[in-house]
Amino acid sequence: MAGAKRGGRRHITGNSITTKSWFGSHSEMVVDELPNGKVVCEDDSGKYITTKSMLDSGLADPNRYNNRKNPDESV
């Protein structure tokens, strides 16, 4: 089918990240430490709360890319 559109997301020229990875949390992203082993991190999209165990783990951090909330409201 000539000219058929393909589904999915498209790359937006000019968008780049300023952190080490797209989905992982890293120690240089920490802006505040909270009780119970939690930290507030900040990336290009804003602030989010995660656990210290997710920092520099090499794994995608679900707290970074799911259900973004303002940390000031949830603390």
pLDDT in tens, 34-66: 999 999 999 888 899 999 999 999 898 999 887
Considering just the CA atoms, what is the radius of gyration of the chain in Å?
16
What was the pLDDT predicted at 44?
83
Mean pLDDT (the chain) is: 78
pTM (global) more than 0.75: no
The helix (run of H) or strand (run of E) holding residue 40 is strand 38-43
